[in-house]
Structure 1
Amino acid sequence: MASIKFEIIEHVVTLSESSTGWKKEVNLISWNEREPKYDIRDWSPDHEKMGKGVTLSSEEWQQLNNFISK
């Protein structure tokens, strides 16, 4: 299985934290050295493991922000 390379460019917000220490976070992440995208997913306390998530382009992120702001 190929490894996934990622770099957290900016931590935006922590949405929640479980009793095990995993946190649901919104981050700006570069996946495999590509253009950074906004990302919502669960992370282990050391950011070594991650759960499934949703990745949004800047345009999609803006659309979501516009919707939430209504």
Structure 2
Amino acid sequence: MSEIKFDIIKNIGVLSDDGKGWKREINIVSWNDRKPKIDIRDWDEEHIKMRKGITISKVELNKLKEVLNDINIDELDIG
């Protein structure tokens, strides 16, 4: 299996911290020298290890923003 190459271009923000050194972050990341995209996933403190996440384009980010703006979060049955 080939090594995954990544470059965190910019940290947008931290969504959560598990208290054990892992943080769920929103970053702009270039994967394998490709065009940077928005990335949401858990990272260790040194940004060497990562867990599964989601990577979306600018178009998808705009659509996500529209969807989130149109919902009432307090009415959702989630934890």
TM-score w.r.t. the length of structure 1 is 0.94
Q: Which structure shows the higher strand fraction?
A: 1
Mind listing any 5+ residue stretches in structure 1 that lack a counterpart? none
| Structure 2 residue aligned with 1:2 | 2
Give the ranges of 4+ consecutive aligned residues of structure 1 lying more than 4 Å apart after TM superposition.
Answer: none
Seq. identity, %: 47
> Alpha carbon RMSD of aligned pairs, Å?
0.8
Q: Deviations over 1:18-42 (max 9, x none)?
A: 1211000010100001001111100
Larger C-alpha radius of gyration, 1 or 2? 2
Q: Which runs of 5+ in 2 are unaligned?
A: 71-79
Count of paired positions: 70
Higher relative contact order (CA 8 A, sep 6+): 1
Counterpart of 1:27?
Answer: 27
1:21-69 per-residue CA deviation (whole Å, 9 max, x = no partner) reads 1000010100001001111100001000000000101100111111122
